[in-house]
A and B are shown apart, each in its own frame.
Chain A
Amino acid sequence: MSEPLAGLSVDSVTGIDVSLPLAGPGARSFAFIIDWHVRFILALAWYVLATVLYNGGFSLEPPPGHQQTWFVLVMLPVLAIYFLYHPLVELAMRGRTPGKRSVGIRIVTRAGEPPGAGALLVRNVFRLIDALPVAYGVGLTLMVLTRECLRCGDMAAGTLVVYERSAADTALLQDAARRVGKLDSAGAEIAADLLQRWTSLVPEARIRLARTLLERYLGADADLSDADELEWRARLERLARP
């Protein structure tokens, strides 16, 4: 099994360090693929809309010859969307992009802060190197080879890509709080989560997870006899009753 990635640790005045887990090549590639589709769809949508309006009917054919108006109104915005997507969106969203946001990662400096405009600019300029020779070959190779999973742009700009958990399910955590006592805190969280998601899971998964939890906390005292799923839910609720 591969070793987990190191995290970024930043000292703070409270004495409690800020700890951010680093995102690996998988999460970063996934975010990039989402972003690539977002910018491709945006550029395509502009092309279709502007060309249809320009032609005055549903025709996607570019006009014959070099027409200045068509080039400025249609092609220039398309190229701008495609090539300026990353620097502009990262700047506007303070180190995030729609792709990064959906994967739960963001760009930070080594101090754990959102990067400034200069760092984001340098990071994006070095995409020229990272994208060589094809499909981000250099960038991916560097990410795999470096301990902090850095591509060339990150090295130049002093940035890192870290995971972030965007929002807490506070109802779940408060429900878990009421269940601590019969269970430890981790078990209380799992039980609260399982009961909350009970109806969205397939029946086999509900029963398998409930059985595992009962076995873990009750051991030999657990009633693991075959039963329908309502009975399994009742057993779980008895185990984790507030």
Chain B
Amino acid sequence: MARGPRSKAREEALAAALLGRAGAWQEADLRAQQFAHDRTDDAAAAARLAEDYRLLAHDLARARALMPASRAREYLESAYARVHATLHHRAWDAASALRALFVAQTPAAVRWLLPYLAWTLLIFLLSALAGFALVHRYPDLIALFASPDTIASVERGKLWTQGLLNVVPSSILSIQLFTNNVVVTLFAYCLGFLFGLGTLYILGLNGLMLGAIFAFVGEHGLAGELFHFIVPHGCVELSVMCLSGAAGAAIGEALIRPGAGGRLESFRTAALRTGPVLVACALLLVGAGLIEGYISPDPRFSLPLRLVIGVGYWCLMVAFLSGRLFTWHAQPRAPQRR
């Protein structure tokens, strides 16, 4: 239907009035940006932001109708989105976010991952057994799992870990080991994206390597020494690998068997749900790296002490992952009987 001259004049007057309010839009936008960054208890300022939201919604609706291809509409869209986000986004408090992460989210994610953890542990153990059996039966196959230097060192009756601190200082060794472990852990998690196959591959390969190396050093009478070396850091390090593998397996299963929401939604839910576990894994690996750099290669630590450190750190890990590390002192007392 053709528009009459009166209608056109009215629209132009409305557009001019709308554009004339650009200063008010900018003020509203600035207030929203200030609100997004600062905390305030000022109720009047919050009420004013709600007024700004209504003003921008009103003007945006008019701009969409009157001047859809204008810069004013584009700017209003962005300003309205910013005020919407500021009004609807919860205030960010780093301390409470961290508390929620370690006290609630991580234990909940670990509980959810328990069935996956059982399966990944089983896969890891079976792979380790397979690696052990293979190299025990066919010793030449160690060349598939260990470097020529490592093989030569063991054949000379010496573990490659002996004298490690004479070559690399503990601090550098700790960081190198931490970096390597974090990369393996993150890959075990992320490769769940390949329908869980990547995670399975990383777990299987690491299990095979561990079993094969133990079989090989056992043939040369060094299994005890390797156990000495591994036990302080290995309890947590291997548990963390299985945990990140479990998170990767959960992602893989979300892709293989998506729920009613579809594959993408299922993947997103699994990834966000298991995200806190990765933070916990990274923190635990810092400790494992320090132990592996400072304690494991140091011959002054006796086996009982190594066992205490390894098992103690593992118990700390369990307390941390279950949330009890942060809540044991806050347990409510049982009501006393009268």
Is the CB–CB distance between B15 and A76 below 8 Å?
Answer: no
Task: Please choose the segment from B82-90, B122-130, B219-227, B300-308 that sits at the chain A interface, where 4 or more of its residues have CB less than 8 A away.
Answer: B82-90
Q: Tell me if A52 counts as interface (CB < 8 A to partner B).
A: no
The residue of chain A having its C-beta at the shortest distance from the C-beta of B179 within the complex is A79
Q: Tell me if B216 counts as interface (CB < 8 A to partner A).
A: no
Mask: chain B, 56-84; 1 = CB below 8 Å from A; 0 = not: 01101100001101111011011111101
Q: Tell me if A111 counts as interface (CB < 8 A to partner B).
A: yes
Is the CB–CB distance between A129 and B80 below 8 Å?
Answer: no
**Contacts A112-B85, A173-B72 given: A16-B57 contact, CB under 8 Å?**
yes
Q: Tell me if A199 counts as interface (CB < 8 A to partner B).
A: no
CA distance in complex: A205, B20 (Å): 29
Mask: chain A, 169-211; 1 = CB below 8 Å from B; 0 = not: 1101110111011001110110000000000000000000000
CA distance in complex: A51, B331 (Å): 51
Cross-chain contact of A119 among B54, B57, B272, B278 (Cβ < 8 A): B272
Is the CB–CB distance between A16 and B60 below 8 Å?
Answer: yes
CA distance in complex: A166, B75 (Å): 8
Is the CB–CB distance between B72 and A185 below 8 Å?
Answer: yes
Cross-chain contact of B275 among A12, A66, A122, A152 (Cβ < 8 A): A122
CA distance in complex: A56, B191 (Å): 46
Q: Tell me if A161 counts as interface (CB < 8 A to partner B).
A: no
Is the CB–CB distance between B54 and A184 below 8 Å?
Answer: no
The residue of chain A having its C-beta at the shortest distance from the C-beta of B193 within the complex is A129
CA distance in complex: A167, B72 (Å): 11
**Contacts A157-B268, A173-B22, A186-B67 given: A18-B175 contact, CB under 8 Å?**
no
Task: Please choose the segment from B142-150, B154-162, B165-173, B228-236 that sits at the chain A interface, where 4 or more of its residues have CB less than 8 A away.
Answer: B165-173
Closest CB of chain B to A236's CB: distance in Å?
18
Q: Which B residues are in CB contact (< 8 Å) with A76?
A: 175
Q: Tell me if A128 counts as interface (CB < 8 A to partner B).
A: yes
Is the CB–CB distance between B267 and A177 below 8 Å?
Answer: no
Q: Tell me if B180 counts as interface (CB < 8 A to partner A).
A: no
Q: Which A residues are in CB contact (< 8 Å) with B57?
A: 12, 14-16
Task: Please choose the segment from B23-31, B131-139, B199-207 that sits at the chain A interface, where 4 or more of its residues have CB less than 8 A away.
Answer: B23-31
Q: Tell me if A81 counts as interface (CB < 8 A to partner B).
A: no
Q: Which B residues are in CB contact (< 8 Å) with A111?
A: 88
Most central of A66, A111, A112, A185 by chain B CB within 10 Å: A185
Q: Tell me if A72 counts as interface (CB < 8 A to partner B).
A: yes
**Contacts A118-B276, A168-B75 given: A185-B175 contact, CB under 8 Å?**
no
Closest CB of chain A to B19's CB: distance in Å?
3
**Contacts A125-B190, A168-B25 given: A185-B84 contact, CB under 8 Å?**
no
Within 8 A of B (CB), among A122-178: 122, 125-126, 128-129, 152, 155-158, 163-170, 172-174, 176-178
Is the CB–CB distance between A113 and B193 below 8 Å?
Answer: no
CA distance in complex: A178, B25 (Å): 17
Q: Tell me if A20 counts as interface (CB < 8 A to partner B).
A: yes
Closest CB of chain B to A4's CB: distance in Å?
13
Is the CB–CB distance between A125 and B172 below 8 Å?
Answer: no
Q: Which A residues are in CB contact (< 8 Å) with B61?
A: 16
CA distance in complex: A111, B81 (Å): 10
Cross-chain contact of B271 among A10, A117, A157 (Cβ < 8 A): A157
A-B interface contact total, Cβ < 8 Å: 167
Q: Tell me if B36 counts as interface (CB < 8 A to partner A).
A: yes
Is the CB–CB distance between B16 and A189 below 8 Å?
Answer: no
Is the CB–CB distance between B80 and A117 below 8 Å?
Answer: no
**Contacts A155-B268, A189-B72 given: A16-B80 contact, CB under 8 Å?**
yes
Is the CB–CB distance between B16 and A18 below 8 Å?
Answer: no
The residue of chain A having its C-beta at the shortest distance from the C-beta of B53 within the complex is A14
Q: Which B residues are in CB contact (< 8 Å) with A189?
A: 19, 70-72
Q: Tell me if A99 counts as interface (CB < 8 A to partner B).
A: no
Q: Which B residues are in CB contact (< 8 Å) with A152?
A: 193
Cross-chain contact of B23 among A116, A156, A174 (Cβ < 8 A): A174
Q: Tell me if B97 counts as interface (CB < 8 A to partner A).
A: yes
Q: Which A residues are in CB contact (< 8 Å) with B314?
A: none
Closest CB of chain B to A217's CB: distance in Å?
13
Q: Tell me if A55 counts as interface (CB < 8 A to partner B).
A: no
Apart from the given pairs A125-B189, A168-B71, A177-B19, 10 other A-B contacts in the complex at a CB distance below 8 Å: A18-B77, A20-B81, A68-B169, A71-B171, A126-B271, A129-B191, A152-B193, A168-B25, A185-B72, A188-B15
Q: Which residues does A use to contact B, with CB under 8 Å?
A: 10, 12, 14-16, 18-20, 66, 68, 71-72, 76, 94, 108, 111-114, 116-119, 121-122, 125-126, 128-129, 152, 155-158, 163-170, 172-174, 176-178, 180-181, 184-186, 188-189
Q: Which residues does B use to contact A, with CB under 8 Å?
A: 12-13, 15-20, 22-23, 25-26, 29, 36, 53-54, 57-58, 60-61, 66-67, 69-72, 74-75, 77-82, 84-85, 88-89, 97, 101, 105, 167-169, 171-172, 175, 186-187, 189-191, 193, 251, 264, 267-268, 271-272, 275-276, 278-279
